[in-house]
Amino acid sequence: MAGHLGDAAAADGLPLLDLRTLERRPSTFLAHRLLAGALEEGEDEEGDVVRRSLQQRVGLGLLAAYWARGEDVGDREVVERIGEAVGMPAERVVAALDDDLTATSVRLEESRAAELGIRAVPTFVFGGRIAVSGAQQPQALVDAARRVLTGA
């Protein structure tokens, strides 16, 4: 896996640590809570666009922290710093990490993923019936989408 990911990252000019140097695989529960909390942030005149934009920034911040810098995205201080660094209000960060409803929501999503047989990240599900797991070439995603659209 490390070689495949390294090659894919290098081909796209993305920074990626030598995966053999990562000492542990942290729990991503807090990171997922932060991502869920980003969707709860307020709206402006454009509505949903604001929340999705914030969640995207949070996600990219978390990915860069882990894959490019080797930070522990299971550590609360790290997760809080990332949320605030990408523009999530400090009170929203704390609420996302402390709120029982957000925790329950994330656990329900984990259960739903397990029921669908999702065991790898990323996993893309097309049309609710075709899943493509792990780091894949773009053509694999195109092929899956095409199969769903054509009914193949």
d(CA 76, CA 114): 25
pTM comes to 0.76
Q: Check whether residue 30 and residue 64 sit in a common domain.
A: yes
Q: Check whether residue 53 and residue 71 sit in a common domain.
A: yes
Q: Check whether residue 131 and residue 67 sit in a common domain.
A: no
**β-pair partners for 125:** 131
**Domain count of the chain?**
2
12-59 pLDDT, tens digit each: 777 776 766 777 788 999 999 999 999 876 655 555 555 678 899 999
- Which CATH number characterizes residue 43's domain? 1.10.472.60
Domain of 56 in residue numbering reads as 2-115
73-117 pLDDT, tens digit each: 999 999 999 999 999 989 999 999 999 999 999 999 999 888 878
**Which amino acid, residue 51?**
R
Q: Check whether residue 34 and residue 69 sit in a common domain.
A: yes
